[in-house]
Structure 1
């Protein structure tokens, strides 16, 4: 879905474990170079995800898309965004607010970050990777299994006591009503900070931003979702 909004003229370097994203088939008009991790026992020379991240940077892509981040390649990915490459990746975390701490443990596996403090790594993550999205899977009687966005967070700070500090741009939460003995699904939205709005506008993406994320329209909004 995110790839849809990338300018067709920009170069995308895609790294996958297995070729299951089908991005090239979905967007044949886009400039996508697709690569795959090769770790089978039969191969004498294996190609790791970290190898492909480093190779991708030599191709000077506008976008680096890594299907899933698992280890030391996270350090190279942080280096990539610090040199003005845009990044999309996935990882396993409890929620969107936990993404920086998950990335920190993987970034430390890279030699250049092994002795860096949490505060310094977090500061770089917040500056260069300011948005985290958490997807959840739910099962509903009539609709079956549904995968969707549960949280979108703008990371704004970090401290040793509380960890990541952020602004929930979007959040879906179930609330219990004792009178009706029912759970109801609510959606909460908040506007982007001025800093992130400036980044979006400078990237020429302001026109696709929903109005509910704009400060003049929304301070904090909550609505019940009818399902």
Structure 2
């Protein structure tokens, strides 16, 4: 039922009723939709890989993942649209896109503090590495959500995602090229994220986010 909040945990029958696991659908007309994530470990990261499938509605820049703390609204944030945007510790980086694709797209964003480099992988192909936040470590104790950018000063949500989101994984390391390509090719038996593991990490679906069959790998 639209508007009803759903809790998706490791043993949730609503989530595991779907085979394979479902996608999240964020209705374009519902600006209140978001997913609250309870990560498997503290989001204090010296490196990470965020991978996900998305099929976004063409309505401008949209937030995929937002992690904010009391000191930093944009401790870690990723947006999609005419570009892929990445915030780490309040610093911003843009990965320009050559075209707007209306179907499913597989994204992986990697970052390593030691080198201070970030790379966008799109459908298994790597773009040019860019520099951001060398030596930085993200702060623990924040709020992690999917589908919205949280402004902690105002307590409001904006830049909402509209469309389908699936197979979100967050690792505390940089995945290798073969691992990224295997995820983009939907190969079975790939390692789950140790921060967000799709289908295992507890999540709360709020504001009318719906569970729908996942067609990303078809």
- Shorter-chain-normalised TM-score: which range? under 0.3
Relative to its length, the structure with more strand (as a share) is 2
Is the radius of gyration larger for structure 1 or structure 2? 1
Query: Which of the pair has the greater relative contact order for Cα pairs under 8 Å at 6+ separation?
Result: 2
Richer in helix (by share): 1
